[in-house]
Structures are given as C-alpha cells and as structure tokens.
C-alpha cells in the first residue's frame, strides 16, 4: 500500500469489533470511540437496526445498478430531498464524499459554463483530481494541476491569520470585502463557492454564524452558486442544526448540498442534492455503478429513521454541550491547550507549544496518551495540532464524562511533557 496512507499511533492499532460507542482491539482491549472512523460511524457501532437492514438486503440481492428501480434508493432520495431544505430538490447517490463533491463541481461548472470556483482557505473536499483542486489545506493537496481555476477566500479560520484580532462582526465584514476584492479581480463568471460550514480536516474551525448569509448576498449579485459540503456537518451532528448551513439561515438553503460519511453509518454512501434545474443541466448520460446500491441505501434508510426517531440531533446538542463544558474546564489550567471549540458533537482541541506556536508534537503525544486511557480521538488542523472529538451521536452522559476524564489525564501528561516546569 502507498506510503502516503498513514496509520495512527506509534504502534498501529487493529480493531476487531464494536458495540455502541465502544470498540475492541484484537488483543481484547476496549476503547471509547470518540472518532467513529472519521465521523462515519455516526449512530453507533453494530446498531441492530442497521445491521438487520444490511443483512436482510444482502440476503436478497447485493447489486442491481441504477438501470433498475430500487425501493430503498427512491425512498431515501425522497427523504433526503425533503430534509435538505432545497426547493424542488433532486438527489444523486455516490459512494463517497469525494465523488459527491466531484459531482457537485461537474454540475455547478456545467450549469454556469465556467470552470472558476471559489473555495475556503484551509478547506478539504476530497482526494480526486477535481476535489484536491478546491482543497485549501496544502497537506491534503498533492498537486496544483487542476481542471478548475480556484480562488481561495478567507472565512473559516477565525483565531489565526490576518483577521484574528477582529470581532465577529468585523471579521465577517473583512471576509466579505475580501470576497468582493477577489471577484473584482477575475474577468470571467465564477461558477460556485464550495465550503464546509465547519471545516473538518481543517481542525473543526468555523466562521462566525451568518458569514455564509453575508457571502450569499454577494454571490447572488453574480449568479454564483453555493455548494455546502455537509460531509462532516450533516444529520444533526452540530446539535443546534440539522445541517451546518443552517447556522447561516438568513441565506436560505444552498444551491447544492453534498453528504457522505455518517448517513450509511459505515456503509459507503454519499450524494449530492441540487434543485432540479441544476441537477438536470447535464446533457450527457452519467452513472455511478456502485452509487446508491441496494445494500447501502437500505442501511442509509434504517440509519436515518433511527436518527430521526431518537432525536439524535437533540442528543448531540445536550451531550455535546456538556462535553465541551467539561473540556473547557480541563483546558483552563493547561497552557498547552490553545482553544476548545466546536458545537454539538464536533469538538476541536487546539494544542500549542510553550511559545504559543502550533504543536503537532503535542497532538501526536495526546493521541498516544488518550489511547493509553482507552479513548480514541482524531487529529486535524493545518499544522496537525488539533484533536478532533466526534463520537457517535448516541453518546450518553456517562460516556461523555468518561471521555472527558480520559482526556483530562492525557492532556495533563502532554502538558508535563511539553513543559516540565508547568505542574498542572
Ligand atoms: N468533504 C469533507 C468535508 C470531508 O471531510 C471528506 C472526508 N474527510 C470528504 C469531503 C471526502 O470524503 P471521502 O473520504 O468519503 O471521499
């Protein structure tokens, strides 16, 4: 396998099975899972409702292709269209977030007859040729060759960079001015803005609420479409909202919305939602052989039904609120923690060295110590110095307390290692 496919931990971890919010390694050790395989086990491990739907469908037929009608696919498309907030919506299923964003870029550039795209600095949208071309995070963009001309704008990195010292209102105004300035420098029409409401790989950073509504006013002056990449932020993870874009609600829904990761609770299911005139603008055939297969859409339907019936968005808000409070209390006495941020069950812990600079070393160490404490967390940020906390949305209060205690122990050990003089 390629060298760029990296593993977590000094001693790689091999997982054998999971249940609820816990996973076990091959030696039988149990871990509380605060990462869900990169926000993908969204509901729970081995959720009986999803397992049953997958097993039953697998026993009937694994694959038919989109040449034939499939009840699960049609029903899931109808439910997602209704939930999306996009009027007269159409849904196209893919196998991944990358493929969903690639489809959204194809639609937007075809509809607008332009290959110019606005993207956010520090963003991540996938690994394909078109999606690395709109990925502002250099660590994840291995080539500058591109089918698109991309213009990067400010907005998601709130606490560092040239606008860090501004208030939220001033920050939004500065970003809108930057957007206008960038648009003023291009002689061609721009097709779309693609943006994550909360940047995932970028370290769970987000703009002030309302920034995309302010952007939307500018985009509308030019007819530029807005693609909201909800691959990490969708389905209620952020607690207050079902979609990340709703923190900018004054804008109304985006023109296109992409999803993947959590909807299949581990099955490879993604897709793009767009209003009919945008979705239907392609004048050639298009098909994703595996996109929306009967097994993945059966899983998606069972998962979505469970999520809505158990109000997991409300759970993310309540338990996530408690978890972030606990983590802020832990961080208060630890200079190695620069910031605890996030909303719902999407929480970032940014780490810095004694001189205040980003510390990837501290984050690497924190991963080792949390593992020792029986807790799995993720890592992200432009400098790989942010711990990413994104447990399954069924997380209980007791499990949140358990994870917060493990993080407290781990972060104290990191504090001592990076600055032995500081005795927390
Ligand atoms: N968009 C966002 C916001 C993501 O976080 C990711 C995956 N980390 C992708 C797109 C790409 O999804 P996938 O890995 O399923 O192709």
Distance CA 259, CA 275 (A): 15
Q: What is the mean pLDDT of the chain?
A: 96
Is residue 39 assigned to a domain? no
Nearest residue to 203 via CA among 290, 132, 121:
121
In CATH, what number is assigned to the domain containing residue 384? Answer: 3.90.1150.10
Res. 423 pLDDT band, cuts 50 70 90? low
Structure tokens at 412: 């104290």
Res. 390 pLDDT band, cuts 50 70 90? very high
- Is residue 221 domain-shared with residue 136, that is, in the same domain? yes
- Between the CA of 126 and the centroid of ligand 1 the distance, in Å, is 5
Is residue 354 assigned to a domain? yes
Is residue 424 assigned to a domain? no
- Between the CA of 285 and the centroid of ligand 1 the distance, in Å, is 25
DSSP letter assigned to residue 118: E
Q: Which residues constitute the domain of residue 360? A: 15-33+311-418
What SS3 state is found at 195? strand
Nearest residue to 370 via CA among 32, 127, 108, 51:
32
pTM above threshold 0.95: yes
pLDDT digits (tens, 9 = 90+) for 246-281: 999 888 999 999 999 999 999 999 999 999 999 999
DSSP letter assigned to residue 208: P
Q: Is the pLDDT of residue 420 over 80?
A: no
pLDDT digits (tens, 9 = 90+) for 328-370: 999 999 999 999 999 999 999 999 999 999 999 999 999 999 9
- Between the CA of 21 and the centroid of ligand 1 the distance, in Å, is 22
Is residue 5 assigned to a domain? no
- Is residue 249 domain-shared with residue 377, that is, in the same domain? no
- Is residue 114 domain-shared with residue 136, that is, in the same domain? yes
Sign of the torsion formed by the C-alpha atoms of 387, 392, 397 and 402: negative
- Is residue 342 domain-shared with residue 237, that is, in the same domain? no
The ligand 1 atom at the shortest distance from the C-alpha of residue 233 is 3
The ligand 1 atom at the shortest distance from the C-alpha of residue 200 is 5
Is residue 298 assigned to a domain? yes
Residue with CA nearest ligand 1 atom 12: 97
Q: Which of 287, 309, 331 is the last residue of a domain?
A: 309
Res. 422 pLDDT band, cuts 50 70 90? low
Q: Where are the alpha helices (DSSP H) in 61-126?
A: 71-84, 97-112
- Is residue 271 domain-shared with residue 317, that is, in the same domain? no
- Is residue 131 domain-shared with residue 192, that is, in the same domain? yes
Res. 421 pLDDT band, cuts 50 70 90? confident
- Is residue 61 domain-shared with residue 209, that is, in the same domain? yes
- Tally the residues of the chain: 424
Number of structural domains found in the chain: 2
> What pLDDT, on a 0 to 100 scale, did the predictor assign at position 187?
80
Distance CA 352, CA 207 (A): 21
- Between the CA of 101 and the centroid of ligand 1 the distance, in Å, is 9
In CATH, what number is assigned to the domain containing residue 273? Answer: 3.40.640.10
Phi, psi at residue 50, to the nearest 5°?
-75, -45
Residue with CA nearest ligand 1 atom 13: 97
> What pLDDT, on a 0 to 100 scale, did the predictor assign at position 25?
98
- Between the CA of 61 and the centroid of ligand 1 the distance, in Å, is 28
Q: 340: exposed, middle or buried (C-beta count within 10 Å: 0-12, 13-18, 19+)?
A: buried
- Is residue 270 domain-shared with residue 318, that is, in the same domain? no
- Is residue 327 domain-shared with residue 402, that is, in the same domain? yes
pLDDT digits (tens, 9 = 90+) for 143-200: 999 999 999 999 999 988 899 999 999 999 999 999 999 999 988 899 999 999 999 9
Q: What is the DSSP string of 261-297?
A: GGGGBTB--EEEEEEHHHHTT--S----SSTT-HHHH
- Is residue 227 domain-shared with residue 292, that is, in the same domain? yes
Q: Which of 309, 343, 362 is the last residue of a domain?
A: 309
pLDDT-above-90 percentage for the chain: 96
Is residue 43 assigned to a domain? no
- 3-state helix, strand, coil split of the chain in percent (to 5) is 40, 20, 40
pLDDT digits (tens, 9 = 90+) for 51-106: 999 999 999 999 999 999 999 999 999 999 999 999 999 999 999 999 999 999 99
DSSP letter assigned to residue 41: S
Q: Which of 231, 262, 268, 379 to mutate to test the pocket of ligand 1 (most atoms within 8 A of CB)?
A: 231
Is residue 41 assigned to a domain? no
- Is residue 129 domain-shared with residue 246, that is, in the same domain? yes
Is residue 423 assigned to a domain? no
Q: Which of 241, 274, 309 is the last residue of a domain?
A: 309
The ligand 1 atom at the shortest distance from the C-alpha of residue 199 is 3
The ligand 1 atom at the shortest distance from the C-alpha of residue 270 is 15
Q: Which of 6, 124, 199, 245 to mutate to test the pocket of ligand 1 (most atoms within 8 A of CB)?
A: 124
For ligand 1, residues with CB inside 6 Å are 38, 96-98, 101, 124-126, 196, 200-201, 229, 231-232, 260
Q: Which of 6, 40, 97, 120 to mutate to test the pocket of ligand 1 (most atoms within 8 A of CB)?
A: 97
- Is residue 299 domain-shared with residue 318, that is, in the same domain? no
**Mean pLDDT (whole number) for 205-220:** 97
Q: Which of 102, 205, 260 to mutate to test the pocket of ligand 1 (most atoms within 8 A of CB)?
A: 260
């Amino acid at each position: 396998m390629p060298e760029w496919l990296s593993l977590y931990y000094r001693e790689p971890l091999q997982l054998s099975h999971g249940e609820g919010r816990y996973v076990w390694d091959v030696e039988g050790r149990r871990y509380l899972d605060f990462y869900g395989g990169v926000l993908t086990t969204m509901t729970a491990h081995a959720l009986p409702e999803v397992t049953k739907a997958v097993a039953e469908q697998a026993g009937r037929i694994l694959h038919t292709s989109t040449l034939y009608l499939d009840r699960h696919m049609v029903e899931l498309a109808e439910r997602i269209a209704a939930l999306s907030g996009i009027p007269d919506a159409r849904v196209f299923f893919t196998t991944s977030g990358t493929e969903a964003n690639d489809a959204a870029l194809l639609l937007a550039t075809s509809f607008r007859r332009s290959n110019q795209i606005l993207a956010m600095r520090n963003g991540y949208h996938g690994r394909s040729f078109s999606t690395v071309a709109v990925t502002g995070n250099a660590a994840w963009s291995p080539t500058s060759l591109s089918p698109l001309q991309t213009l990067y704008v400010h907005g998601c990195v709130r606490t560092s960079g040239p606008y860090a010292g501004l208030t939220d209102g001033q920050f939004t105004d500065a970003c809108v001015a930057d957007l206008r300035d960038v648009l003023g420098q291009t002689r061609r029409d721009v097709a779309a803005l693609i943006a994550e409401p909360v940047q995932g790989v970028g370290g769970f950073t987000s703009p002030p609420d309302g920034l995309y509504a302010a952007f939307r006013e500018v985009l509308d002056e030019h007819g530029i479409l807005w693609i909201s990449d909800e691959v990490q932020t969708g389905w209620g993870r952020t607690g207050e909202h079902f979609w990340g874009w709703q923190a900018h609600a004054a804008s109304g829904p985006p023109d296109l919305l992409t999803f993947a990761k959590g909807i299949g609770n581990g099955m490879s299911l993604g897709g793009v939602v767009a209003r009919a005139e945008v979705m239907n603008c392609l004048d050639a055939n298009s098909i994703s052989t595996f996109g929306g297969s009967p097994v993945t859409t059966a899983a998606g339907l069972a998962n979505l039904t469970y999520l809505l019936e158990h109000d997991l968005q409300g759970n993310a808000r309540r338990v996530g609120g408690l978890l972030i409070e606990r983590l802020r209390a832990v961080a208060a006495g630890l200079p190695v923690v620069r910031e605890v941020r996030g909303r719902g069950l999407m929480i970032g812990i940014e780490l810095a060295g004694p001189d205040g600079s980003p510390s990837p070393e501290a984050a690497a160490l924190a991963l080792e110590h949390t593992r020792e404490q029986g807790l799995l967390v993720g890592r992200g940020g432009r400098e790989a110095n942010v711990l990413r906390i994104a447990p399954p949305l069924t997380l209980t209060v007791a499990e949140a307390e358990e994870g917060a205690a493990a993080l407290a122990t781990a972060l104290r050990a990191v504090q001592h290692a990076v600055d032995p003089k500081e005795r927390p």
